[in-house]
Amino acid sequence: MEAKITYFETPGRDNTDAVMEIVKQRAQELEIETVVVASYRGYTAEKAVRALDGMKIVVIAGFPHPTMDNLEETFAQGDEKLIKDKATVLIATHFFSGMSRAIRKKYNSSSPEELVAQALRMMCSGVKVGIECTIMAADAGLVRTDEDIIAIAGTGSGADAAILVRPVNSQDFFDLKVKEILCKPRNW
């Protein structure tokens, strides 16, 4: 089997439209019905609901530490009504941040979660965030763990990475399967 991987020369928002086209094409080829999208300010979520119309879209608006200030910014760069009409939105603490951040703050020590997150960043931030959002969606019951999905994420703002993945719940983290990398930045 051959599959195409697109490498973007640089990371970031400028790749978002291309990511959506890549995802749309691969989802059609594989008959994937569900997409998980990381979007912290609404820009990527709006791009996804417009480009991937007809698919089940789960938007993960996660934060390392949700506060009233940053929650108010969740849709600052996107059409909130459109996003909420066409997607399911989960606002939650990042999977790799919750308890591990508390351990670091209290005891000035790293946790296994932080080590795993750093290891995943070796692929790129978008791959790490895509995996993280997939687990968050599975834990919330928003995606099935018996079918493949596509996760879209990025570096900073916008999207620059997409992976084909079989979701798992957090207690089964090491059973998660990244089946394909559809696209990612080459330099980050």
- Structure confidence at residue 77 (pLDDT): 76
Q: Decide if 105 is inside a domain.
A: no
| Chain segment 112-122, per-residue pLDDT in tens | 777 777 788 88
In a domain, 120, yes or no: no
The token pair that represents 66 in the structure block: 């949700």
- Rounded distance, CA 23 to CA 35, Å? 9
Is residue 25 in a domain?
A: yes
Q: Assign residue 58 the CATH number of its domain.
A: 3.40.1380.20
pTM: 0.87
19 in any annotated domain? yes
> Into how many domains does the chain fold?
1
Q: Spell out the residues 6+ positions from residue 109 whose beta carbon is closer than 8 angstroms to its own.
A: 103
Q: How far apart are the first and last CA of the chain?
A: 28
Q: Please check whether residue 30 lies inside any domain of the structure.
A: yes
Domain assignment of residue 131, given as a range? 6-94+126-185
Best mean pLDDT range from 6-20, 52-66, 68-82, 88-102: 6-20
pLDDT digits (tens, 9 = 90+) for 28-70: 999 999 999 999 888 999 999 999 999 999 999 866 566 666 6
In a domain, 78, yes or no: yes
Residue 66 lies in a domain: yes
Q: How far is CA 104 from CA 2, 45, 98, 101, in A?
A: 43, 31, 10, 5
Q: Which two tokens stand for residue 97?
A: 């941040």
Residue 108 zone, left/alpha/beta (φ > 0; ψ -120 to 50; rest):
left
* Domain assignment present for 65: yes
Q: How far is CA 149 from the centre of its chain?
A: 11
